[in-house]
Structure 1
Amino acid sequence: MSLLASDVRAASKDPAKPNVVILFSDDAGYHEFSLHGAELFPTPRINSIAANGVRFTNGYVSGTVCSPSRAGLLTGRYQNRFGHEFNIPPVYSETNGLSLEETTIADVMKQAGYQTIALGKWHLGYAPKFHPMERGFTDFYGFLQGARSYFPLDKPTRLNQLLRDREPVRPESFEYMTDELAIAAADYIAKSEDRPFFMYVAFNAIHTPNHVLQSDLDSLGGDTRQAKHRAMTIALDRAVGTVLDAINEQGIKDNTIVIFLNDNGGATGHDNTPLRGKKGSAWEGGIRVPFVMQWPGKIEKGKVIDEAVIALDIFPTIMKAAGVSESPGLPLDGTDLTPFLTGETKAPPHETLFWKSGANWAVRDGNLKLVVASGGSGKPELYDLSQDAEEKINIAAEHPDQVKKLESMYFQWKKDFPTPTWGGGKPKK
């Protein structure tokens, strides 16, 4: 019996080194994905990742806004530990960027023999020393700034220009950025041959500006802000499908880890139902995000995990999957999720998680969450998330001992943190 070319390619891959694809969306609302029951926002290709693997109902990111969240994901460490508490200002700087003392997951995967590819939005520094290819990535196709046009620019700046590795793409020539990043990802996957790859696809969708393909908008029959969000989400889901199809076409689905998550809670104007708050807040609506993962060769289909996980866990999980026992960098805050996902252990990945963004902060210990958030009372409020994920019923007055305990845990956690490197003024206690 003859083998298909895709079967030969799959057989030639080292199964001990799975490929890894992280699909990172931007600023979308919790209720703008049909995997959370949003009928207006059908996202079948994103849903398929959950169907083929696991959906985390209590999946978090470590930052309440874009740049800190990315810093946490790529280092596996609370970004507050190295002063990356706020968004990097959108001006060129030789000093503002992801700390050079930090080791990235791309550094580790590159050392393990992987081709390491970053696509899309960087938002971790503009000077050459902060460029993705100085932070562990072998390849880069994207832009350095935190936002840009979804369409080609005639006169881009050095911050928002499209780069191929380190060189500007001139002229910019593509139809729509969301589709373009997916096409680039599919091309890298098709050319991966025998070398395992680690791919970080950081879509700017569905961050502002609300640029849409007219064909996507026309399919919805409206031109409101919500319709534009829906059209941008249609494109995002289509792009995720393009990447998944490329993986399938290469015959490497069973040996490829795919993770999809959003970078923070939905921005103003987005739908975070049923969660309270939005981007920038320590309420659940600022930090709990769509978070799904598939690894058909390892994780059974259709799992739903209610225990809390965080984007910091991605680093140790894929590092261990690549056969690396320990990061050469500073101690990680994340946990390898594999034993938990395969049933090897039933212990929850985390007992306690923390967040800090200026005056907004929170600590979750088990199902109890103590939070101070913009728009709240200004005092720590206590919620039982197992009964009240919407954070409507403040039980602080009934449980003063728990308030004191969690507050003490939070202050102990942050006691050695440096002053934020940029933004936010003086750090708030």
Structure 2
Amino acid sequence: MLYRSALSVVAQLSVVAQLSVVAQLSVVAQLSVVGLLAMCFSSFVMADRPNVIVIMSDDQGGGDYGFLGNEVIRTPQLDQMRTQSTLLSHFYVSPVCAPTRASLMTGRYNYRTRCIDTYVGRAMMDPQEVTVAECLRDAGYRTGIYGKWHLGDNYPLRPMDQGFEESLIHRGGGIGQPSDPIGAEGKYTDPTLFLNGVETPMKGYCTDLYFDHAMKFIGQAVKEKQSFFTYLATNAPHGPFHDVPEDLYQEYLKVDFKPILINKRLNPQRLKAESDKLARIAAMITNIDQNVGRLLNHLEQLGVKDNTIVMYLNDNGPNSMRYVGNMRGMKTHVDDGGVRSPLVFHWPKQVPAGGELKPLCAHIDLMPTILDACQVPLPEGIKIDGRSFLPLLAERKTTWPTRQVVLQAHRGNEPQAFHNFALHEGRWKLVHPSGFGKERFTGAAKLELYDLGTDPQQRHDLASQRPEVFQRLKGAYQAWFDDVSSSRPDNYAPPRIVIGTDHEPVSVLTRQDWRHQSGRPWGADSNGFWLLESPAPATYDVEVIFHTEPKQGRAQITAGETQLEMQIDAGKKRGQSVRMKLPAGKFKLQVDVQFDNKVQGPHQVILTKVNG
């Protein structure tokens, strides 16, 4: 009781601190005796709250764990962690990266957040969303992110704008994409990362660097007796696969991967190529596993392991057709192999070791569970879709009311009802596996119904045999889609990048966040534009950057109603810029580059505000 009262007072004091001196005195005078006593114990309460670490790998897949029966890919540290933890074995995520991350951060379905795809401006989360990092930061936690954010690369969308006090990240959806810093493309080893927004060359392998910096952050927080929230989101084992831990790769080259291949009838040449790819993926996974062991040892040495929550999950299904236990599917699929992840929940002080929980849980539940464990209330007026599963972990016999969880993702600017979705309710799964790659499906939706309790591999469609269940779940899905699609006015409009502020005086615009217009989205022949917003008109140096050495040409820059032309010199990838006044308010920035009567877009554009 005193613990909750103290937290209430701490929350009140954070409000008091924002008021005038007279207002502060008025509010303090109204605090209860219990509240004042609780303030005396506030430092004790802060120290007693659990620390929280969320580790999420990228494209690992729900079967890439020794403790789930994978006999090829080695995960000894995670296997040991599982024996010391409780496993949520029916935990669901989205079929692709950014939607899972938006739901994890907000406790809300990603369709409520404007984050609906993985690139071309649709992996940007609305900055008005309230994140778990913001809630914990405001409650006195130190907050840090290390690795993959994938919810926006510019102000006000970056993790440092969304509650993280320290951030070491790459841009975009992964290293090796058009959002890479110029001159450091595709470097997993010795990458150029962004440390608190600053482009920073580093030495070492990317996963090792994330864990190194996270452990340093944790050590500093412990030294200063502060609770911490650490989000470790590796970009491994996401492709490209050219740069992996060499020692582990050489070990895995000697391994027979046929036991975990779904297609076992590959010709020798194809088998060799697939085995090489899997050796690279396995090397990245085992490297993550080694770092998890380092992290847990670090917590023990610091004396905080007992009261630190450590959660491990993957963000979607595996990035190849490989072992997923008794399921089917892979990344982008809405079959269980594409949307189910183990969640290992480690909290020695409160959660028994070795248990398994089977109730339906999902990524939308992480935020409310974390806040529940830390006894941090949701801000007033915030609507979330998830529910805390902490009572399941702590009490084991707590009833878990029947619920429905919907997972949907596909390409495009606006979701289509019934396209590439799955609705889960207990043992029932209603699914339309229409494919991730296109914005729309054509023809009638062929919905399928499965009883996962008896048919986890989804082999027997029961839609015609159980019409009452089929129709009920179909109606429930339509109600869900209508609800998430009306979360805010113009619900699926993409967020805008804000330029010209002290938060980000230099804005690097990349193809990750442009609105694709023509050609292949990231191809050399493609073109697009950026949706921007500026608080006031200002003058900028506009640098136009190319991925390869350009020919002689011309570029037309359009910013709202303003246009300007510049010459493009042959052979210069960088250093070609022009000074231009950009308008206030919302506008579209487009750069049309003409080479030999063909028009394309630039690789990147850098806007540097000119002072004075």
Whether the TM-score (by the shorter chain) exceeds 0.5 is yes
Distance in 1 between the 2:493 and 2:354 partners? 42
AA in 2 matched with 1:394: D
Distance in 2 between the 1:225 and 1:30 partners? 18
- The superposition leaves residues 258-308 of structure 1 with CA deviations (integer Å, 9 ceiling, x where unpaired) of 000000111234433432121112111111012111111110111111111
- Aligned: 1:21 with 2:81: no
Q: Is the 8 A contact 1:26 1:207 kept in 2?
A: yes
Shift of 1:329: 5.3
Closer/same/farther in 2, CA of residues 110 and 402 from structure 1, 3 Å limit: same
Partner of 2:349: 297
SS in 2 for 1:241: helix
Partner of 2:447: 380
Closer/same/farther in 2, CA of residues 334 and 318 from structure 1, 3 Å limit: same
Distance in 2 between the 1:312 and 1:216 partners? 34
Range 180-189 or range 369-378, more displaced: 369-378
1:123 corresponds, among 141, 150, 154, to 150
Partner of 2:475: 408
AA in 2 matched with 1:343: E
SS in 1 for 2:130: coil
Residues 262-411 of structure 1 aligned to structure 2 (within 5 Å): 262-328=314-380, 330-343=382-395, 345-348=397-400, 351-358=403-410, 359-374=419-434, 378-411=445-478
- Aligned: 1:145 with 2:145: no
Closer/same/farther in 2, CA of residues 54 and 212 from structure 1, 3 Å limit: same
Closer/same/farther in 2, CA of residues 300 and 96 from structure 1, 3 Å limit: closer
Closer/same/farther in 2, CA of residues 403 and 364 from structure 1, 3 Å limit: same
Q: Is the 8 A contact 1:19 1:196 kept in 2?
A: yes
Distance in 2 between the 1:130 and 1:200 partners? 17
Task: Quote the sequence identity (%).
Answer: 30
Partner of 1:3: none
Range 306-315 or range 410-419, more displaced: 410-419
Shift of 1:123: 0.7
- The superposition leaves residues 56-84 of structure 1 with CA deviations (integer Å, 9 ceiling, x where unpaired) of 111111x2110111000000001112332
SS in 2 for 1:260: strand
Closer/same/farther in 2, CA of residues 337 and 128 from structure 1, 3 Å limit: same
- The superposition leaves residues 135-193 of structure 1 with CA deviations (integer Å, 9 ceiling, x where unpaired) of 0011001112111159x988137xx9401111111xx2322111111111111112112
SS in 2 for 1:415: helix
**Structure 1: which 5+ runs fail to align?**
1-10
AA in 2 matched with 1:177: C
Q: CA RMSD in A?
A: 2.7
Q: Give the number of equivalent residue pairs.
A: 407
Range 39-48 or range 128-137, more displaced: 39-48
Partner of 2:36: none
AA in 1 matched with 2:213: A
Query: Greater relative contact order (Cα 8 A, min sep 6): structure 1 or 2?
Result: 1
- The superposition leaves residues 340-366 of structure 1 with CA deviations (integer Å, 9 ceiling, x where unpaired) of 111165212652111122420111112
SS in 2 for 1:148: coil
Shift of 1:317: 1.0
- The superposition leaves residues 7-31 of structure 1 with CA deviations (integer Å, 9 ceiling, x where unpaired) of xxxx988454110000010001222
1:136 corresponds, among 163, 183, 199, to 163
- Aligned: 1:98 with 2:125: yes
Q: Is the 8 A contact 2:95 2:409 kept in 1?
A: yes
Q: Which has the larger radius of gyration?
A: 2
Distance in 1 between the 2:288 and 2:317 partners? 17
Shift of 1:424: 11
2:113 corresponds, among 82, 89, 92, to 82
Query: What TM-score results when the alignment is normalised by the length of structure 2?
Result: 0.63
Runs of 4 or more, structure 1, over 6 Å off, are none
Q: Is the 8 A contact 2:321 2:330 kept in 1?
A: no
Distance in 1 between the 2:286 and 2:89 partners? 22
AA in 1 matched with 2:427: N
Q: Is the 8 A contact 2:142 2:227 kept in 1?
A: yes
Distance in 2 between the 1:153 and 1:411 partners? 42
Q: Is the 8 A contact 1:28 1:270 kept in 2?
A: no
Distance in 1 between the 2:379 and 2:476 partners? 26
Q: Is the 8 A contact 1:102 1:330 kept in 2?
A: no
SS in 1 for 2:61: coil
2:84 corresponds, among 52, 57, 73, to 52
Partner of 2:296: 244
Distance in 1 between the 2:172 and 2:385 partners? 27
Distance in 1 between the 2:138 and 2:193 partners? 27
Distance in 2 between the 1:329 and 1:178 partners? 38
Query: What TM-score results when the alignment is normalised by the length of structure 1?
Result: 0.88
Residues 104-119 of structure 1 aligned to structure 2 (within 5 Å): 104-119=131-146
2:205 corresponds, among 176, 184, 198, to 176
- The superposition leaves residues 80-102 of structure 1 with CA deviations (integer Å, 9 ceiling, x where unpaired) of 1233221132xxx6x96211221
Distance in 1 between the 2:471 and 2:56 partners? 36
AA in 2 matched with 1:220: Y
SS in 2 for 1:364: strand
- The superposition leaves residues 122-141 of structure 1 with CA deviations (integer Å, 9 ceiling, x where unpaired) of 11002121111110011001
AA in 1 matched with 2:330: K
SS in 2 for 1:55: strand
Distance in 2 between the 1:252 and 1:46 partners? 19
Q: Is the 8 A contact 1:309 1:350 kept in 2?
A: no
Distance in 1 between the 2:313 and 2:116 partners? 20
Shift of 1:225: 1.1
Distance in 2 between the 1:213 and 1:149 partners? 16
Closer/same/farther in 2, CA of residues 349 and 179 from structure 1, 3 Å limit: farther
Partner of 2:259: none
Shift of 1:229: 1.4
Partner of 1:187: 216
Q: Is the strand fraction higher in 1 or 2?
A: 2
AA in 2 matched with 1:374: S
- The superposition leaves residues 379-410 of structure 1 with CA deviations (integer Å, 9 ceiling, x where unpaired) of 11011111111111111110011110000000
SS in 2 for 1:24: strand
